[in-house]
Amino acid sequence: MKIIAISWQYLWSRPLAAALNLLLLSLGLASITFLLLVSHQLSTAFERDLAGIDVVVGAKGSPMQLILSGVFQLDVPTGNIPLAAVQELQAHPQVARLIPISMGDSFRGFRIIGSTLDYPAHYQARLEAGAMYSMPMQAVLGAQVARESGLKLGDTFTGTHGLASGGHAHGQNPYTVTGILTPGGTVLDRLVLTSLESVWQVHEADTALDDDDRQIMQAEREVTLALIQYKTPLAAVTFPRFVNTTTDMQAAAPALEITRLLSMLGVGLDVLRALAGVLLLTAALSVFIALWGAVRERRADLALLRMLGAPPRKVAGLLVCEALWLALLATALGVLAGQGLSALLAWALQLEKSVLVTSLSWPAELAAVPVLALVVALASALLPAWEAYRVNVAGLLRSS
């Protein structure tokens, strides 16, 4: 008979207490798992979407709003900026690459983004079918858009005004699907990509009163923002100041804004972490009480084991092994529940067409969960094991 088998049988000899302790410990570990997964996946999603973008230039307003709308496609943009001003920036000696972005319409809640082919290229987008847009009113669908809309190559659709569904439909200017992207886990998955000209064409056709009006509008074309990559990291010191002080636009550094955002989110995460900590502490106390009770209840049994020749460390090991069983089971259940919750969140965010969080991931940080379970179990078992270690065998004779 092995100690693992004996301790397993001892553990389940009080099924209610064992199940309750398991539940408590699993809940604590599930919360920790969920928090670890969400923080990891959010920062991964942010990093993925931010990769290679040093600064975002757009209309003046909240810099965080500019980043959220321009990079993550989450918020509404701060306004539009003149195309001419963006073209001037493109010629700036510190700018290596500039990707203009134009937005304002959506299709079934998915944003229609007008840009150059540099935009999908920046995220190393690959086509699952068809080709990239090469003419106005051609569109390439992100993987999620294609999946949810059911559109296929050659299908046509019309955008609606505004970034949420339910706006005025631009019925006279339908888009034709020329390509569908493979899922890349980036912001592109939930976007409809088209050329800048398409966006301009839709709005000019809708709002111009006559040809003269259209010509004026063409001369005053705007984009929403520009994603910029520097030639040298040193540009980070001077370029934003240059834009902010000499133009009517604002430059916002994504890294800075995201750090700010994460620190704001961090307060919430800290509260959740504290709650998970309280749950774990409660579980530790409960396991301790159960093991302490087990030692008291089985004092004579444990003494008899000593009488039968078991050294004290073996008797104490039995208690520790019981706690380790709890830790092992709670880790498995906790991680599973945490992954389940995370999958639920991923599903909800996908419904909201928000940041993409993958449903199953195993980041290295998850190693903290079994470690935590082990620490809680061992800490809870410490005193009961010590009590078992020093159980009074001679007392067994006297009490019997």
Partner 1 sequence: MISTRQLAYRYADGPALAFADLDLPQGGVLLLGGASGSGKSTWLALVAGLVAPSAGQLEVAGQALGFGAAALKNSALDAWRARTIGFLPQKLHLSAALSVHSNLALAQWAAGQAQDDARITQALTALDVQALASRKPAQLSGGQAQRVALARAVLLEPQIILADEPTASLDDEAALASLALLQNTANSHGATLVIATHDSRVAAYFAENLSEKGLQRMKLLRQ
CB of 313 to partner 1, least distance (A): 9
Q: Is 4 in the site for partner 1 (CB under 8 A)?
A: no
Which residues are bridge partners to 211 per DSSP?
Answer: none
Q: Is 10 in the site for partner 1 (CB under 8 A)?
A: yes
Among 211, 267, 309, 364, binds partner 1 (CB under 8 A): 309
Q: Is 306 in the site for partner 1 (CB under 8 A)?
A: yes
Q: How many CA atoms lie within 13 A of 101 on its CB side?
A: 31
The residue among 295 and 305 lying less far from partner 1, judged by its C-beta, is 305
Note the Cα 195 to chain centre separation in Å: 29
Among 167, 312, 340, 370, binds partner 1 (CB under 8 A): 312
The residue among 237 and 308 lying less far from partner 1, judged by its C-beta, is 308
Count of residues that bind partner 1 according to CB under 8 A: 29
What DSSP string describes 16-55? HHHHHHHHHHHHHHHHHHHHHHHHHHHHHHHHHHHTT--E
The residue among 284 and 319 lying less far from partner 1, judged by its C-beta, is 319
The residue among 38 and 305 lying less far from partner 1, judged by its C-beta, is 305
Q: Is 329 in the site for partner 1 (CB under 8 A)?
A: no
Q: Is 256 in the site for partner 1 (CB under 8 A)?
A: no
The residue among 124 and 392 lying less far from partner 1, judged by its C-beta, is 392
The residue among 131 and 397 lying less far from partner 1, judged by its C-beta, is 397
Q: Is 400 in the site for partner 1 (CB under 8 A)?
A: yes
Cα–Cα distance measured from residue 338 to residue 336, given in angstroms and rounded to the nearest whole number: 5
Cα–Cα distance measured from residue 37 to residue 41, given in angstroms and rounded to the nearest whole number: 6
Cα–Cα distance measured from residue 58 to residue 78, given in angstroms and rounded to the nearest whole number: 7
Do residues 59 and 79 touch, judged by C-beta distance below 8 A?
yes
Among 305, 326, 356, 372, binds partner 1 (CB under 8 A): 305
What backbone phi and psi angles, to 5 degrees, belong to 60? -65, 150
Ramachandran category for residue 61: left, alpha or beta (phi over 0 → left; psi -120 to 50 → alpha): left
Q: How many helices (H) and strands (E) does the chain have?
A: 14, 13
Do residues 187 and 123 touch, judged by C-beta distance below 8 A?
yes
Q: Is 394 in the site for partner 1 (CB under 8 A)?
A: yes
Q: Is 219 in the site for partner 1 (CB under 8 A)?
A: no
Q: Is 209 in the site for partner 1 (CB under 8 A)?
A: no
The residue among 40 and 306 lying less far from partner 1, judged by its C-beta, is 306
**What are the residues binding partner 1 (CB under 8 A)?**
1-3, 6, 9-10, 12-13, 298, 300-301, 303-312, 314, 393-394, 396-400
